[in-house]
Amino acid sequence: MNDFDEAPQMVRDFLSYMETIKGKSKNTVKEYYFDLRTFFRFMKLHKNLVRTDVDFDNIPIHDITVDFVKDITLSDLYEYMTYINRERDNKSRTRARKVASLKSFYHYLNIKAKLIDVNPARELDSPKIQKSLPKYLTLDESKQLLQSVTGKHKERDYAILTLFLNCGLRLSELVNININRISPNRDRLTVIGKGNKERTIYLNKACTKAINDYLEVRPVDGVKDKNALFLSERKQRISNKTVQHLVKKYLGMAGLDTEKYSTHKLRHTAATLMYKHGEVDIRALQEILGHEQLSTTEIYTHVDNQQLKNAVDRNPLAELEKE
Query: Cα 47 from chain centroid?
Result: 35
Instruction: Confirm whether 300 is a catalytic residue.
Output: yes
Q: Out of 267, 268, 275, 276, pick the active-site residue.
A: 267
Q: Out of 97, 135, 181, 194, pick the active-site residue.
A: 194
Instruction: Confirm whether 267 is a catalytic residue.
Output: yes
Instruction: Confirm whether 245 is a catalytic residue.
Output: no
User: CA distances (Å), 309 to each of 303, 305, 313, 314, 320, in order?
Assistant: 10, 6, 6, 9, 17
Instruction: Confirm whether 314 is a catalytic residue.
Output: no
Instruction: Confirm whether 131 is a catalytic residue.
Output: no
Q: Out of 37, 156, 170, 276, pick the active-site residue.
A: 170
**Dihedral over alpha carbons 27, 275, 155, 260 (to 10 degrees):** -60
User: CA distances (Å), 303 to each of 7, 273, 294, in order?
Assistant: 46, 11, 17
Sequence-ordered list of residues with C-beta below 8 angstroms from that of 20, at least 6 positions apart, any chain: none
Residue type at position 38: T
CA angle 310, 313, 315 (to 5 degrees): 115
Instruction: Confirm whether 170 is a catalytic residue.
Output: yes
- Measure the CA–CA gap between 15 and 24, rounded to whole angstroms: 9
Do 136 and 265 contact (CB within 8 A), yes or no? yes
Helix (H) or strand (E) holding 277: helix 263-277
List the catalytic residues: 170, 194, 264, 267, 291, 300
